[in-house]
Amino acid sequence: MKLGVGHPVWKKLYEELSGLAASSGGAFAFVLDEGNGLWCVGVPNREPMTQTFDENRAADRFYAAEVAPLADAMRRGGRIDVAKMDGDDRYVALSFATIYVLVVWFKGEFEAPLVRARMRRVLPNIEALVVDLPPDGGPGGTSGAGKLRA
């Protein structure tokens, strides 16, 4: 089953991400991996959808700036914990499960410690959902992404 609105685990992930963005005052939140695989983008007050063009471009910029330089280190246990609070691209990001990064994106000022606390509170739920997802375009929900990588 292809990931997206029709996949129940993906839909729950979307709801978690959009809820995190909303509670943090963010424009959206997303999860990507160290290979620039964008797993899901959650946008507050928007029905679940996979066509998030502006958000995808923002995720690509984030990947180029923060993940690509550290991708090899992440695979060896390195972590990302960053807050960019100025410029056009503003975000807080935390890595998890070795190869994934949770990001909340902002269009204006934000309180990084508060956002980090909210991210850490929901991270176990988000991690469980991401690990339970099948590879995009891969087999159904019986083989989660984490199980296939193990």
Residue 145 in this model has a pLDDT that exceeds 80: no
pLDDT at residue 75, rounded to an integer: 84
DSSP assignment letter at 44: T
Alpha carbon dihedral 147, 43, 81, 141, in 10-degree steps, equals 0
Domains and CATH numbers, the chain: 8-149 (3.30.450.30)
> Quick check: 138 pLDDT over 90?
no
CA–CA separation, 51 and 4 (whole Å): 10
Whole-number pLDDT of residue 1 = 53
Could you report the per-residue pLDDT of 30-75, keeping only the tens digit for each? 999 999 999 999 999 999 888 889 999 999 999 999 999 998 888 8
Which carries the bigger pLDDT value, residue 24 or residue 98? 24
Tokens representing residue 124 in the block: 């176990």
The 10s digit of each residue's pLDDT in 89-104 is 999 999 999 899 999 9
Question: How far apart (Å, rounded) are the C-alpha atoms in residues 33 and 71?
Answer: 9
Nearest CA-CA partner of 29 in 120, 82, 88, 105: 105
pTM exceeding the 0.75 threshold for the entire prediction: yes
Got the DSSP string for 78-125?
---EEEE-SSS-EEEEEEETTTEEEEEEESS---HHHHHHHHHHHHHH
pLDDT, average across residues 131-150: 53
Q: Judge whether residue 28 has pLDDT over 90.
A: yes
Asked if the model's pLDDT at residue 3 lies above 70, the reply is yes
- Residue 144: count of CB within 10 angstroms of its CB: 20
